[in-house]
Every structure is written in C-alpha cells, then in structure tokens.
Amino acid sequence: MNKHDPGGPEAKLHFGDNEFTILKQGLFVTCAVSGERIPLDELRYWSVDLQEPYRGPKEFEPYGVGYVQLDDDVIVESRLTVADPDQLQIGMPMELVIIPFITDDDGTELVTYAFAPAKEES
C-alpha cells in the first residue's frame, strides 16, 4: 500500500460545508470524475449538493444554484443549468428541465431537475 493506492475498504462519507462525517470506516473514497482512489487524509474537494468527492479542483465542474420564484408565492432553491453569473439576471424567466445526474453501478443513467433560462419564443 502507498499513499496513492491506499487499498483496504472504501469509506462512506457525508459531505458538509467545511467538513465531512464518516458514516462507514474506510481508508479512501473514489473521485466522482476520475475514479481515482483518494486517501481520506488527502481529501480536500467535494460537493455538498451532489455528495461527491473530487481528487482536486480540476475534476470539479462548477454548476449554478439559485432561487427561482414559482407563481407569486413559492420560491425554491435549485440547481441551475448555467454556472456563469454573467448569463443570469434577477427576475429572468426560467424553465424546469431534466438533466443527467449520475450513472449507477449497473449503467442506469439517473436524472434530476434543474432550471434553465427560458428559451425566447419566436
């Protein structure tokens, strides 16, 4: 075993804003992008919303999160399809879309929802 191949069992974690909680003891987690094993003492990057670990910042793909007002009374916090704040404006029309989330171990693609800037009607 070396620091880049920790061997042993994989840990199960819950990722918080600035810490993680070990739910199942183990020596490593697997990067959600590269599949590389990450020893727990080297884990520095993760997504709280997606509950995924990353080897480093280059593996993480930014995504937008924002508040979307539905009708007049309900406001939801949701994932957005746009991560660049320069492409978003307060009060802009948004539409609900289905996007890929993850592919599970048996190859089934799981989906989730997000809001995208509404397409202009022509």
pLDDT tens digits for 21-44?
999 999 999 999 899 999 999 999
Range of the domain at 81: 64-117
pLDDT tens digits for 67-98?
999 988 899 999 999 989 999 999 999 999 99
Which of 5, 50, 11 is closest to 32 using CA atoms?
50
**Per the domain annotation, does 42 fall within a domain?**
yes
Place of tokens 């697997």: 30
pLDDT tens digits for 94-112?
999 999 887 888 889 999 9
Q: Say how far apart CA 101 and CA 96 lie, in whole Å.
A: 15
Average pLDDT in the 56-75 region? 86
**Per the domain annotation, does 38 fall within a domain?**
yes
Tell me if residue 77 falls in helix, strand or coil. Answer: strand
Looking at the fold, whether 69 and 53 belong to one and the same domain comes out as no
Average pLDDT in the 61-67 region? 86
Looking at the fold, whether 71 and 107 belong to one and the same domain comes out as yes
Looking at the fold, whether 54 and 73 belong to one and the same domain comes out as no
Q: How many domains does the chain have?
A: 2
| Contacts for 117 with CB less than 8 Å, ≥ 6 apart | 81, 82, 87, 88, 92, 93, 94, 95
**Per the domain annotation, does 19 fall within a domain?**
yes
**Per the domain annotation, does 23 fall within a domain?**
yes
